[in-house]
Amino acid sequence: MNEKQRKPARHSDRAIPKKKGFNPIKVFFKIVFSIVLAFVMLAGGACFAYYKITGNTPFANDGSISNDASDTSLLDALLKRNIKLNVAVFGVDKDGTRTDVIFVMHYDSTAESISLVSLPRDTRVSLTDEVKANIKAEGRTYSDVTKLNAVHAYSGEEIGCKNAVLQIEDLLGINIDHYVKIDLEAFRAIVDAIGGVDMYVPQDMYWDMRDTGDPLIDLQEGQQHLDGEKAEQLVRFRRYVQGDVGRIEVQQLFLKALAEKVLSTETILKNLPDMISVMYKYIETDVSLSDAIKYMNYVDKMDMSKISMETLPGVGQYVGGVSYFLNDAEETREMVDRVFYSVAADTEGTATDSKSLLIEVANGGSITGLAAQYSKKLEDAGYKVGSPSNYSGEQNSYTRIQVKQEGVGSDLISFFTDAKIEVVPDEVGDDAEIRIILGTKEQ
């Protein structure tokens, strides 16, 4: 797969109010596979984990899996170098029409990083000409300006995901390679198949929707064991001070807990058949799960040591009496540049590449050989790296990227679990132009 050409992001000419009182969620956590891979490739991931734990192959080769994997299969792409891959994930309501949960997974093979960007369902969008033409061709009606989660509903079951993908591409200015759709029935079945999820519910949640055919939401703040029904209540609850953004934050916390439970040794051994059955029965995707199983022995070649999660920048606001989430055009552009194109802007708005600068990696952690390991990783990505060294100063949990001037080093952040840039020319020294002091979070 060739790296795709950058698309211009669509930004409204109208003034967009700046968000207040909320910073995009940035949670880094270490698990065997990413959350999205747990959904998209649970069958392959579970089989791989089962194989690693037991040494037994869970499926015999009966010829049902093709030996000629498509060049566009997800795992084929992940195993190649220098690619950027985007997967849209949709969680739909009980009718399978409106998308209640929307996020995009971005995989960067060079940086070996995964980013999840949540898109508020109430995001205000203007339907693209292509989306409108597709809807008209189906004999359906639409509103030119609507909420992002309504695009699938306007389009209908046959082309719902296709049009939702087109609209996200227009909103963010990116290309989407694959999509995954999961409905509430599948969601409940997945949670029940793994024996439920333990997590801390951040607030009391009560909302009686039984008069509309929806469930009663009744959860108490505190540590809870959530089965499929209670988990659905958690992710559907909407009454947060921060509005849709607060809902996304709780959903992300749940997804983290879910991924940790799904990929635990005990869960893999006890629930493998049920999990695979659920994925085949309920998930709609253009990714081949048979390819996922076929390539299960290659999954451990991917570095899944870090995942970043954040939310589309913006603010909730009423427009014409309708509650929308208005994305901040400038901050959205900066996020897209950083997350999807690995571009960091300096104070004058120009991108600075560190590949022409000599980098020193110093081991500030407790793991022997870590500096050499990261030096090689940067060299493989095209950076100039000197001899690794040991740092004798005070240890920090985060990695320090020390530079001599503003606007340098931002393209290095994605290589590390938790990294910050420090403009300290006197500390960098004369032997390098950038010094990276590894933190204790790095492994």
Per-residue pLDDT tens for 92-106? 766 666 677 888 988
CA quadruple 355, 359, 363, 365: dihedral sign? negative
Per-residue pLDDT tens for 121-141? 999 999 999 999 999 999 999
| Residue 408 confidence (pLDDT) above 80 | yes
| Residue 321 confidence (pLDDT) above 60 | yes
Task: Check if the beta carbon of residue 75 is closer than 8 Å to that of residue 37.
Answer: no
**What integer best gives the mean pLDDT of the chain?**
74
| Residue 109 confidence (pLDDT) above 60 | yes
Label residue 273 by pLDDT band (50, 70, 90): low
- What does the pLDDT read at residue 237? 87
Task: Check if the beta carbon of residue 56 is closer than 8 Å to that of residue 49.
Answer: no
* Distance, C-alpha 277 to centroid of its chain: 24
- What does the pLDDT read at residue 267? 57
CA atoms of 179 and 434, how far apart (whole Å): 39
Task: Check if the beta carbon of residue 412 is closer than 8 Å to that of residue 434.
Answer: yes
Per-residue pLDDT tens for 353-369? 788 899 999 999 888 88
Label residue 348 by pLDDT band (50, 70, 90): very low
- What does the pLDDT read at residue 146? 96
Label residue 372 by pLDDT band (50, 70, 90): very high
CA angle 56, 61, 62 (to 5 degrees): 135
Per-residue pLDDT tens for 47-100? 444 444 444 444 333 333 333 333 445 555 555 545 677 889 888 766 666 677
Domains recognised in the chain with CATH numbers: 35-341 (3.40.630.190), 358-437 (3.30.70.2390)
Average pLDDT over residues 372-400: 89
